[in-house]
Structure 1
Amino acid sequence: MAMFTKRGAEAVTSATTEKDDDNSVILPFTSGTTYKVRFKSAEDSVEYYAYGIFGKVNTFVPKVPSERNAKGFVTDNPTIWDRASELLYAEAKAAKDAGDDDTYEKIRKQAYLLKGKPKYLVAFVNLADGQYGVVDLTPKQASGVFATIQKYAKRLDKLAFELSKTGSSTNTTVSLTPILDMDEELTEQERKNFEAADALEPFDFALFETCLYVADEAEQTKNLEIAGFDIRRLGLSSEAAATAADGAVTPLPKNDGNKPEIIF
């Protein structure tokens, strides 16, 4: 669980205040998708920090995560991507101090792309099949979802919800709406699955780990090169990265829609 920085109520607070596995419980959540769900607990969520660049490097979490404080700042054991980002931020600051605002803005944007960013995994019972499912959310998306869950926290065993995503690209919106007339709005099978959820065991937080792509240091190094960063600036070499990974420099496997895809 080291890859997750917050769970349950802590994940909710963090969001609102501001592994490749065939058995993964992550569900595709593209724009236009709607799930009818039941929440077994208001605590079934975790925060994690994701790295990647849309269109270049698919989202991953480091095998050995950096240590962060309560505000999310790296305090120890920075990843290779953290080190690259910090180096660029330092250069951006130097440019700003020198009065070169154009260079400052250009380098700052590059540094932000390499920076780890918080995301949230939220678990629920999918009423379509009566099994647990998980969706991956940005802080803004999670904030609204968590607010609704907290609003109805005392009635989660009585209410079903519609979880929907709309919009496109970076302008997607996620909504969570209670279904007030379950007799009218749920199918017979969905109502049966809602009732059967009473007998389900509590969500196993270990299942969250099946939702993420984990990269070791060698793969992070390869992907940093793919992102366009000169790893020699960190005292690394392509040859060393290739040797450590027992292969040539290649991008992450193509995202099949069932793994988190972050847009920075």
Structure 2
Amino acid sequence: MAIVGKEAISALRGATQEGAGSSERSTFTSLKSGSTFLVKALPLENIAAYDSYGIFKKVNSFEAEKPSIKNARGYATDELTPWDLASKYYQDKANELVEAGKSKEDAEVKPLRTKASEYRSKRKYIVPFIDLESGEVIYIDFTKNQAEAVISVIEKYEEKGRLETTPLELSKTGQKTDTKVSLTATFEEDLSETAAKNFKELTAENVTVNFEGLTFIADEKAQIESLLASGFDVSLIDLEAPEIDPTEAF
């Protein structure tokens, strides 16, 4: 399984740096449950990965300007970000209780483990496709499990040399945590006139993949501010709240 890792992160950052002087900024296309897109998949080399932080309905997702070093399981081990430190704070507290004999599901331990998970980064994958109806490149943000399902299909058709000749349907079904993403082949003869024209004319060679603007990249100050916004006491991890610039209000 050719799950992209460091190479994908490099691709994402490289594209961001190269496009820094450009006014062209891409946006994610929302793949809502019940929706389907007719697409042409692009080669695996166009897929990017990043580590996302954020808390649903509290702090919007962001990428750390200086990402921490992760182990094979995705846990931060060195050069920790403020959010990694917050996660570690709760995990260490939970570990202390477990080492003292409490169960991981204990009423004291479980909330700490939940908090640790909230502040921990989650690996996300950005997969670009050619939208056959609009004729534009769209960018879909996937979780690790969703990406594995999609990437395995792209990989299969790429290995067989059929990526350019197979139109696909990208769909999402289910609700909340019980959602499923699928990428399945469809028939070229069933495409609309517009979709069929785009399918023939648009290829990986003549479209541009631009990751600029897709993720919000937060520096240390912004990360500390977002920790405060989430209700976390940053003094617990030996950090201080950034000083407020009085001129920012003007």
| TM-score bucket (shorter structure) | 0.7 to 0.9
Aligned pair in 2 of structure 1 residues 64, 203: CA closer, same or farther (>3 Å)? same
Question: Please, which runs of 5 or more residues in structure 2 have no aligned partner?
Answer: 13-19
- CA offsets per residue over residues 109-141 of structure 1, 9 Å max, x none? 111100001111001111112221110001111
Contact kept, 8 Å, 1:63 with 1:217, in 2: the verdict is yes
Q: Which among 231, 234, 241 is matched to residue 231 of structure 1?
A: 234
Q: Which among 129, 133, 142 is matched to residue 137 of structure 1?
A: 142
Are residue 193 (structure 1) and residue 202 (structure 2) matched? no
- CA offsets per residue over residues 195-240 of structure 1, 9 Å max, x none? 1113743644xx22421112221121111122221111122233x2
Q: TM-score, normalised by structure 2?
A: 0.83
The one-letter code sitting in structure 2 at the alignment partner of 1:92 is A
Contact kept, 8 Å, 2:84 with 2:121, in 1: the verdict is yes
Cα distance, 1:76 vs structure 2: 2.4
Q: Which region of structure 1 is more displaced relative to structure 2, 160-169 or 26-35? A: 26-35
The 5 Å alignment of 1:157-196 reads: 157-179=164-186, 181-184=187-190, 186-196=191-201
Partner-residue secondary structure (3-state), 1:29: coil
- CA offsets per residue over residues 61-111 of structure 1, 9 Å max, x none? 112211224442323221100011112111110011123432121111111
Contact kept, 8 Å, 2:43 with 2:204, in 1: the verdict is no
How far apart, CA to CA, are the structure 1 residues paired with 2:208 and 2:44? 11
The one-letter code sitting in structure 2 at the alignment partner of 1:110 is K
Q: Which among 57, 61, 64 is matched to residue 62 of structure 1?
A: 64
- After TM superposition, which residue ranges in structure 1, 4 or more long, deviate above 6 angstroms? none
Contact kept, 8 Å, 1:221 with 1:241, in 2: the verdict is no
Q: Which residue is equivalent to 1:29?
A: 31
The 5 Å alignment of 1:80-95 reads: 80-95=82-97
- CA offsets per residue over residues 162-199 of structure 1, 9 Å max, x none? 001112222221110111x2112x10010100111137
Contact kept, 8 Å, 2:41 with 2:130, in 1: the verdict is yes
Aligned pair in 2 of structure 1 residues 173, 244: CA closer, same or farther (>3 Å)? farther
- CA offsets per residue over residues 240-259 of structure 1, 9 Å max, x none? 25459957xxxxxxxxxxxx
How far apart, CA to CA, are the structure 2 residues paired with 1:67 and 1:241? 28
Count of residues in Structure 1 that have an aligned counterpart in Structure 2: 230
Question: Please, which runs of 5 or more residues in structure 1 have no aligned partner?
Answer: 12-18, 248-264
How far apart, CA to CA, are the structure 1 residues paired with 2:232 and 2:184? 43
Q: Which among 154, 157, 162 is matched to residue 152 of structure 1?
A: 157
The one-letter code sitting in structure 1 at the alignment partner of 2:174 is G
Partner-residue secondary structure (3-state), 1:208: coil
Aligned pair in 2 of structure 1 residues 86, 209: CA closer, same or farther (>3 Å)? farther
Aligned pair in 2 of structure 1 residues 102, 231: CA closer, same or farther (>3 Å)? same
Q: TM-score, normalised by structure 1?
A: 0.79
Q: Which residue is equivalent to 1:16?
A: none
How far apart, CA to CA, are the structure 2 residues paired with 1:223 and 1:107? 19
The one-letter code sitting in structure 2 at the alignment partner of 1:62 is A
Aligned pair in 2 of structure 1 residues 78, 150: CA closer, same or farther (>3 Å)? same
